[in-house]
Structure 1
Amino acid sequence: MNRRLRLLFKTTGDRIVALNIADPKDTLEASEVQSVMQTIIDENAVITSSGELYEIHSAYIIETTTDTLIEAV
């Protein structure tokens, strides 16, 4: 199973931008995520084609599984 943390931000260009982080720790707390997201905004760490990040939109843990049907030999 693959796990990733998806962080969603609002931009100054009125868009939603996602940052994905692979393999987040199992004990991750919402308060930790919110703190890091706010730091990303405060430090202007990411600039997108639709402007700067200015507000936290949401955050999710996404888990996916892969079932191999045919494997190369």
Structure 2
Amino acid sequence: MTIEHHFILKYTSENGWELDYDSEEVRFPDGTVFNDETNEWSSGYAGDGEFIDNDDIIGDQLAKAINQMNGDD
């Protein structure tokens, strides 16, 4: 089983690189996590403080990488 986490990044001259949560909601209305075994999309948040396949940790790692790309590190 493979779990895929999808994110949308955008770049503007004002803010540099950033996660684009508004576009994610539009482009991924069923969530940004894809389970290839069930062929279903879901939100990364499972509820009760739980995240699917550590989606919170993966998002934090991506945010750190974006900070580095923007020279904020």
Q: TM-score, normalised by structure 2?
A: 0.31
Higher strand share: 1
Q: TM-score, normalised by structure 1?
A: 0.31
Higher helix share: 2
Structure whose CA Rg is larger: 1
